[in-house]
Structure 1
Amino acid sequence: MIQTTRPPLRRPAPPPAALAEAEALLDGQPHKALTKAEAILAKAPGYPPAEFIVARALRRIGKGKQALARLDALARANARVPAVLWELGELSAELGDNPRAVVALQTLTQVQPSIPSGWFLLARCLRKLGHSGDAWRAELSAIYASSHDAELQKAALAVNDGLLDEADAVLKARLVRLPDDPPACRMVGEIAWRRGDMTTALEWVERAVLAAPGFDLARDFLIRLLMQTNRLPDALAHAEVLIGSPVESPGHKLILASVLVKLGHQERARSLYEELLAAQPEQPQVWQNLGHVLKTLGAQTEAVHAYRQAVKYQPTMGEAWWSLANLKTVRLDADDIAAMEAALASLGAATDEQNEDVFHLHFSLGKAFEDARDYPASFRHYDAGNALRRTMVLHDADSFSAEVRATAETFTAAFIAQMGDGGCPAPDPIFVVGLPRSGSTLVEQILASHSQIEGTMELPEMMMMAARLQSRVDEGEFADFATMVASLTPDDRTRLGEEYIERTRVHRQTGRPLFIDKMPNNWQHVGLIKLILPNAKIIDARRHPLSCCISGWKQHFARGQTFTYDLGEIGLYYSDYVGLMAAFDAHAPGAVHRVIYEDMVADTETQVRCVLDYIGVPFEPGCLEFYNNDRAVRTASSEQVRKPIFRDGLEPWRNYEPWLGPLVEALGPVLTAYPEAP
């Protein structure tokens, strides 16, 4: 079995009974161990095992310098005995003599390269001497040695088999013996992540990286955790470190590019992807990632080329086909349809992993046949793609409707008055809310063309904060949503508002005083927004229910929007949205400004002036020339908002009218009352 603690001393001969007795006394009674070992040396001067016990005993009673002298002498005579080298290295490090420690530990790791503890200690000493590159390599060697450790292998197998409690017990016992063992810390973090405990996961993985800064796999995992919790500046800092690894890996550049994309640093991400492709062009995933960045930057021709390169190298890559179709301004021709149908046929009975390609291909074929005006075929593929995708997401329409009703019943005029003043007074945020495909990107692009307003992206911060508050109800701290919200004191609300301002600061790249948060789902939290950010503006972008819902149903979203994959469910969601916004309008008149998409198309200038008046900024002609704004746009409408407003396609639902019964039924009176609420 591979050792992970101090290597044993190679004894030239079996020790006498007195030697064994002295050894047994070392940890509990080092003074007695010293006495017995010296007695042995009196009879057998220079006997190495006894000398070794003397040195270790001296160290334990606080006589480190004397111990070091004895160890030095032992090491000269026993230059390749692992136990002596380990003790010498460890004691030298304790005394701050890192050069001496490094010499001993370098010899130790040459003699026994399979023992991780020697490599880890060597790395710590090298870092203290400023030799970070050598330290990094030593830590990588330690991780490699750890991969052969039987105890860690047992824990890893248990994790892979889903036996998380068993793995956790093995690792926690190991950490009692080997505190801050980096591989064990990382694996405990993974267990917490698999359990959904992100806070604990981050603590353990950060501990692993702190103990071994050259543990590349742990740092990579940490970056991914930080991205999942939206701690993007921290993720970027770690990604910048990772690309300095002495072991070059394309994966390091890929994860850095991912962080940069999330932060909105598209140009640098583009450069990284292009570097990777220059070195190795046959990488469909990298071509696709590059296409996403180019699309966001408005470089449509280059984006089309990138996506086509992706499907050239991997014809079944459904997401790349969908990315082409999702440009909206690109038409997939008969050759493309044939290629996609061949790809779909080749996938046959798809695995769970291949289902991602299958539903993307169905969505892409739906768009291609729509462009070809073959609406029955188009609907058939859209329907198949949505049906498959629906099996892969969680959405409880009834539960969601109940939550929306609870919110509407909470934020009454009386409740709002009872809560009184409070919250962060910052006027910076402009929330653009509504359903996806409602014209919200158009509103955002118009506003972002104003000299005082910065466009960012769909920011997750408010959704995350609301989920955190809801978890207090789910975990039993409060009886219901209303009780939880009512418990927020003015100071609580101020802190929450300040937290939002601080967390979103990373997305602001200019000095403009106002910024847009275009997360559409924030309509669910308009009451909370006004409680914690009373001076924030909220713009409700609304579109005809059939046009909005069918456009959302035809759209595959990279994440979230789980309600869009069933015509009945998307209709219920639209009805819930209208109901909540109507209730808020009644109890807080004027708090939300509504923009009706069809009105914006019919009389753009009047609508733009109205929304700018609501925000409190003067009209600027540039807002009417929003299509000249070259800012990065990440939503599905990114290409459409780079052109003047067009009136075509105002009623896309008409092409699919024969099949819209479930949607019409779910919308009910909301459909006939539009643009008013029933």
Structure 2
Amino acid sequence: MTYENDMLDAQKYLQQGNYKRSLKAALSASRKSPGSAVAANITGIATSATGRPGDAIKYFQKALKLTPDFPDAQKNFAQTLILIGRPGVALAQLAKLAIRTPADWKVWYLKAQAELALGKEKDGLASVDRALALTATSVTVHHLRSTINLSLGHIKDAIDDLYAALKINPEDVVALTNLSLPLARQTRFEEALEVVQKAVKLAPNNVAARYRLATQFVEMGRSEDGIFHYNAILDMQPDHAGALEQLTLLLSKAEVAALEPKIQMALKKVARNSEDRASLFYALSAALSAQEKPLDADKMLGLANKEMANLLPYDPVADADVTRAILGRFPAILESDGETSTAPYPVFVIGLPRSGTTLVEAVLGAHPHVAPLGERGTAGFLLRDIIEQNLPFTRNDAIKMIREDQRLMPDLPEGTVAYVDKMPENYRLVGFLKSAYPNARIINVRRDPRDIALSMWKSHFSGTALSYTYDWDRMAFRFNLYAQSMAHWKTILPGQILDVHYKDLVEDVEATGRSMAAFCDLEWHGAMARPDLNATQVLTHSATQLRRPVHTDSIEKWRKNPDLLTPFVKGFDRTLWSDYLSD
């Protein structure tokens, strides 16, 4: 075989996806022509494609040493640096390359990837727009733009990006799958179901599409359909951690207990220090609990939370600093001139996660003129730069925030007078929210912190925002920050925050619901007493619970195993929680 033949084989196999044979041919070509930058570059591509991006670096470096101005090697080198977690180095390379080759869309695309990885989403959006200006028909660029927009909280824009990709390729299974959740977040539930059903129809063995479809069904209250598709995933991939975990939340007690052998088998194969391993520990805990083995179940819960705590570090000092900085912006009673009052007006339902915010939203959302919008993270995204960079928040800034917030809002039904945003963590932003929306109603949901903590301990949350929930000490620390924050907001906003106690709500939903309605200047409607009959889609851990009539089963669950919460309770500031810790 000649060098030329080896190179032809390397490129042919690369295009066919046969990366091992491509690598073999490329290495042979490099041995025959050690001074070939092209051979070194192909070797690097094939090496990375076989799952060894770290090893690929030396081949790209060799190619660039041989031919410093080799554009393909420069881009491949940068892309591999991003893959191995060195986006800063990649960005420095790409910034120079963008100056030399401004008409190369791939350079801007890679630059956007590096900026996204570095948390520079706005720069990434500008770069990906440059790429789109050069190649509007690239599906991958539209996908990246969608990812960046989602990271910025621009859900509407992300949806537009994915539909743009589908206009180019209507059978893009990845776009159809990725489109489902943003559509659901915009309360376009049937559309969210339709697109992912199409994805599964096009690719029945696509596990990601099937998983999203199962989840969509569960969130819409169609648990049996969800169970069917989670089981279909296990038929394809018996050790799928997510499907096993979700089934333990949906099946009967006997069926959950029967899952233990499958979970144990999956644990033997799963990688250590991985979220999949945590998922399997959560699932195993549920299976053992179903077998009436509480001590073993608690042990597995501890392992699940330990795994997640290691994966998602929490910095209490930084968190406390952010909280103090936010509260320090609003030192005195907050006066409003009412100039930025809006209609419909927002009702912000806040509190600790798992405190009952979903139920409160469901009660209010059963009103015919109230739109329940779920957990909108928009406010946090819009305020992120102001908070992180300690920028001023002027009247003009508040107006800009309102305009962007309303632009990104789902279409509201005709006749809507109020909408509910039940992002619990908005409790940190109350000062900003009341400054921007003087006519906003703030409802703070309170629940016995031990019940909240126990619920958190048993929950596997998506994303990184709730990293404190996987460690008892972290939880206690964050709970104290919440209590301090609410004490401050009530001081500077006297009479403008309604406390709703979860216990009161579930024991007498009508009486508590009426007080909520009055606080929000809404007439009481009988349907508000049966939120289970009005629930649409629920995107939180309460998806299945909310389908039941309001009940008191979750009150004082912590008493069944108080010793489990001992380290949590020790971390409490008792002056902040005296109304709950008297016993």
Q: Compared with structure 1, are the counterparts of its residues 256 and 491 closer, same or farther at alpha carbon in structure 2 (3 Å cutoff)?
A: closer
**Could you tell which deviates more after superposition, 392-401 or 604-613?**
392-401
Any conservation in 1 of the 2:121–2:148 contact (CA below 8 Å)?
yes
Q: What is aligned with 1:251?
A: 174
Structure 2 stretches lacking a partner, 5+ long: 1-68
Residue type at the aligned position of 2:269: S
The correspondence of residues 368-379 of structure 1 with structure 2, limited to 5 A, is 368-379=287-298
Q: What is aligned with 1:404?
A: 323
Separation in structure 2 between the aligned mates of residue 432 and residue 170 of structure 1, nearest angstrom: 46
Q: Compared with structure 1, are the counterparts of its residues 360 and 421 closer, same or farther at alpha carbon in structure 2 (3 Å cutoff)?
A: same
Separation in structure 2 between the aligned mates of residue 677 and residue 204 of structure 1, nearest angstrom: 57
TM-score scaled by length of structure 1: 0.70
Q: What is aligned with 1:431?
A: 348
The correspondence of residues 192-591 of structure 1 with structure 2, limited to 5 A, is 192-245=115-168, 248-327=171-250, 332-347=255-270, 350-352=271-273, 355-412=274-331, 414=332, 416-417=334-335, 421=337, 424-426=340-342, 428-473=345-390, 484=392, 488-503=393-408, 505-506=409-410, 508=412, 511-559=415-463, 560-591=465-496
Measured after TM superposition, the shift of residue 202 of structure 1 is 1.2
Deviations 1:203-239 (A, max 9, x none): 1211111211222222221221122222233222232
Separation in structure 2 between the aligned mates of residue 298 and residue 510 of structure 1, nearest angstrom: 25
Measured after TM superposition, the shift of residue 405 of structure 1 is 3.8
Q: Compared with structure 1, are the counterparts of its residues 316 and 292 closer, same or farther at alpha carbon in structure 2 (3 Å cutoff)?
A: same
Give the 3-state SS of the residue equivalent to 2:498 in structure 1.
strand
Any conservation in 2 of the 1:239–1:252 contact (CA below 8 Å)?
yes
Separation in structure 2 between the aligned mates of residue 297 and residue 510 of structure 1, nearest angstrom: 23
Q: Compared with structure 1, are the counterparts of its residues 651 and 372 closer, same or farther at alpha carbon in structure 2 (3 Å cutoff)?
A: farther
Q: Compared with structure 1, are the counterparts of its residues 373 and 244 closer, same or farther at alpha carbon in structure 2 (3 Å cutoff)?
A: same
Deviations 1:536-566 (A, max 9, x none): 0011111101001111121111122111000
Residue type at the aligned position of 2:395: P
Measured after TM superposition, the shift of residue 351 of structure 1 is 4.8
Q: Compared with structure 1, are the counterparts of its residues 247 and 465 closer, same or farther at alpha carbon in structure 2 (3 Å cutoff)?
A: closer
Residue type at the aligned position of 1:426: T
Q: What is aligned with 1:30?
A: none
Q: What is aligned with 2:55?
A: none
Residue type at the aligned position of 1:558: S
Deviations 1:546-601 (A, max 9, x none): 00111112111112211100012112211221222122223322111011011112
Q: What is aligned with 2:63?
A: none
Measured after TM superposition, the shift of residue 398 of structure 1 is 3.1
**Bigger radius of gyration among the two:** 1
Q: What is aligned with 1:612?
A: 517
Any conservation in 1 of the 2:372–2:420 contact (CA below 8 Å)?
yes
Residue type at the aligned position of 1:338: P
**Could you tell which deviates more after superposition, 547-556 or 263-272?**
263-272
Q: Compared with structure 1, are the counterparts of its residues 528 and 671 closer, same or farther at alpha carbon in structure 2 (3 Å cutoff)?
A: closer
Separation in structure 2 between the aligned mates of residue 552 and residue 235 of structure 1, nearest angstrom: 30
Separation in structure 1 between the aligned mates of residue 330 and residue 90 of structure 2, nearest angstrom: 47
Deviations 1:635-675 (A, max 9, x none): 11112111111122312222332222111101241686225
Deviations 1:212-269 (A, max 9, x none): 1222222221221122222233222232221233595422322333442343323223
Separation in structure 1 between the aligned mates of residue 92 and residue 318 of structure 2, nearest angstrom: 37
Separation in structure 2 between the aligned mates of residue 174 and residue 638 of structure 1, nearest angstrom: 48
Q: Compared with structure 1, are the counterparts of its residues 168 and 633 closer, same or farther at alpha carbon in structure 2 (3 Å cutoff)?
A: closer
Q: What is aligned with 1:151?
A: 71
Any conservation in 2 of the 1:609–1:619 contact (CA below 8 Å)?
yes
Separation in structure 1 between the aligned mates of residue 395 and residue 182 of structure 2, nearest angstrom: 35
**Could you tell which deviates more after superposition, 328-337 or 645-654?**
328-337
Any conservation in 1 of the 2:214–2:230 contact (CA below 8 Å)?
yes
How many residue pairs match? The answer is 511
Residue type at the aligned position of 1:153: A
CA RMSD of aligned residues (A): 2.7
Measured after TM superposition, the shift of residue 408 of structure 1 is 4.0
Structure 1 stretches lacking a partner, 5+ long: 1-148, 478-483
